[in-house]
Amino acid sequence: MILEQATLQVIAGKEKEFEKDFKLASKYISSIDGYIKHSLHRCLESKHQYLLLVEWESLEAHEIGFRQSPQYQKWKELLHHYYEPFPMVFHYKEISQND
C-alpha cells in the first residue's frame, strides 16, 4: 500500500466551493483500479489549508492509472483552479505499524 499526501492551499474565500467540488470529484478518483480510499482534512489553524490522503495499491495506480486517465481530467477541471500555490504531492510506504 502507498499513501499519497498533498497539502492543499485553497484560495481564501473559496473553501466552501472547493469542499462542494471535492465531493463531486471524489467519484472520479475512487473509480480507478488500485484506489483504496481517501480522506480530506481541514486545518484548524488555517481554514484555507487542507490535507489530502489517498491510499493506493501501488505508486503506478496513482501515477499512471489515475494521472493518465480521463477521470483525472475531470478531477483537474473541478479542483485545480482552487490551489495557490499548486500542491506538491508525496508518496509514502509504511515501514512500521503499532498494533
The string of pLDDT tens digits covering residues 5-24 is 999 999 999 999 999 999 99
The string of pLDDT tens digits covering residues 70-95 is 999 999 999 999 999 999 999 999 99
pLDDT band with cut points at 50, 70 and 90 for residue 98 = confident
- CA separation, residue 38 to residues 47, 67, 93 (Å): 20, 16, 16
Q: Domain spans of the chain?
A: 2-90
Domain at 2-90, CATH class = alpha beta
pTM over 0.85: yes
Q: Which H/E stretch holds residue 49?
A: strand 49-56
The string of pLDDT tens digits covering residues 44-74 is 999 999 999 999 999 999 999 999 999 999 9
Given the C-alpha cell 508518496, which residue does it identify?
91
**Number of residues assigned to the chain:** 99
* Cα–Cα distance for residue pair 11/18, rounded to 1 Å: 9
pLDDT of residue 99: 73
Count CB atoms within 10 A of the CB of residue 33: 11
